């Protein structure tokens, strides 16, 4: 299955694009080649990408502005963004802020930057241990009920948090780290598959020990004339019908390489070797 329906309604192809890498160094500020970043976004859409993931913390704010400049009015493209992290001005620091008042202000600011009346998918970037999780999720429910967002998503959550959130509002997606080398979120993915929730693996290209010289990733890649990254993406696409990997890059060439993974079909024996 090449597509899935987020929230049962938003049909998108199952290989999206994560725009974070279009910012400056350490996801801070503008990139040196501003026009080059816009070219990457536009080329992604030309290649059939119709799901783009961003966040207010990327830049901060820069990434959402880039997405709007390159792709607005988003004809056929679903834009997802996130709130709940803030930037202090110190590169590498990502403090959490899950207070309902912050999430409301963050959502409204994202609406303005993205030039949207409704955000198709708005995700809580990470639970804030200083704020009751139910309050953060409840804020997103209220924003949905007010028509500011269409669907609610979560990011960086465990099974218990996902179940708690589902008792508050319908959850359309979960974005967790998951790849060949890190499968700690396997239970979350399994729950998403049972419930028809889209699962967005971030950091999708890491293959860990499987990518060692002479290892299974290298053997599979050689058999198909593919790159390690393409094998990692093909594995994610084969892993479950609800996976929607969002590889990011600031290079058109690398983008085109990633998108070619859609054509790579791994055999049952190859999938077993990568298990």
Active-site positions? 58
Report the distance separating Cα 174 and Cα 45, nearest Å.
23
> For 29, what's the count of Cα atoms within 13 Å in the CB-facing half-sphere?
9
Task: At 46, list the tokens.
Answer: 């030309």
Task: At 106, list the tokens.
Answer: 């963050």
Report the distance separating Cα 72 and Cα 117, nearest Å.
12
**In this structure, how many other beta carbons lie within 10 angstroms of the beta carbon of residue 54?**
30
Task: At 196, list the tokens.
Answer: 């028809």
Report the distance separating Cα 157 and Cα 160, nearest Å.
8
Report the distance separating Cα 9 and Cα 7, nearest Å.
5
Task: Name the DSSP class of 28.
Answer: B
What residue ranges in the chain does DSSP mark as E strands? 3-6, 10-13, 17-18, 51-53, 78-83, 119-124, 149-155, 171-177, 198-202
Residue with tokens 């597509």: 3
Q: Which residues contact 83 (CB under 8 A, 6 or more apart)?
A: 55, 56, 102, 103, 106, 107, 110, 122, 123, 124, 125
Enumerate the β-bridge partners of residue 175: 155, 200
């Amino acid at each position: 299955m090449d597509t899935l329906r987020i929230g049962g309604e938003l049909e998108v192809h199952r290989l999206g694009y994560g725009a974070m890498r279009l910012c400056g160094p350490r996801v801070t500020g503008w990139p040196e080649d501003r026009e080059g970043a816009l070219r990457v976004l536009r080329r992604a859409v030309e290649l059939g990408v119709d799901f783009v993931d961003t966040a207010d913390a990327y830049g901060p704010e820069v990434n959402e502005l880039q997405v709007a400049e390159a792709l607005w009015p988003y004809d056929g493209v679903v834009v997802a963004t996130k709130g709940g992290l803030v930037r202090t001005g110190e590169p590498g620091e990502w403090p959490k802020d899950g207070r309902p008042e912050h999430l409301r202000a963050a959502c409204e600011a994202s609406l303005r930057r993205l030039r949207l009346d409704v955000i198709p998918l708005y995700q809580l970037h990470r639970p804030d241990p200083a704020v009751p999780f139910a309050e953060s999720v409840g804020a997103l429910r209220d924003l949905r009920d007010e028509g500011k967002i269409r669907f609610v998503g979560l990011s960086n959550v465990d099974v218990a948090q996902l179940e708690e959130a589902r008792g508050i509002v319908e959850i359309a997606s979960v974005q967790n780290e998951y790849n060949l080398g890190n499968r700690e979120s396997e239970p979350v993915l399994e729950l998403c598959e049972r419930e028809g929730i889209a699962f967005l693996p971030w950091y999708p290209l890491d293959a860990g020990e499987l990518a060692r010289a002479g290892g299974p990733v290298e053997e599979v890649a050689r058999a198909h004339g593919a790159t390690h990254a393409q094998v990692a993406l093909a594995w994610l696409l084969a892993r479950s019908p609800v996976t929607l990997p969002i590889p990011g890059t600031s290079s058109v060439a690398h983008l085109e390489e990633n998108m070619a993974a859609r054509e790579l079909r791994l055999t049952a024996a190859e999938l077993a070797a990568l298990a």
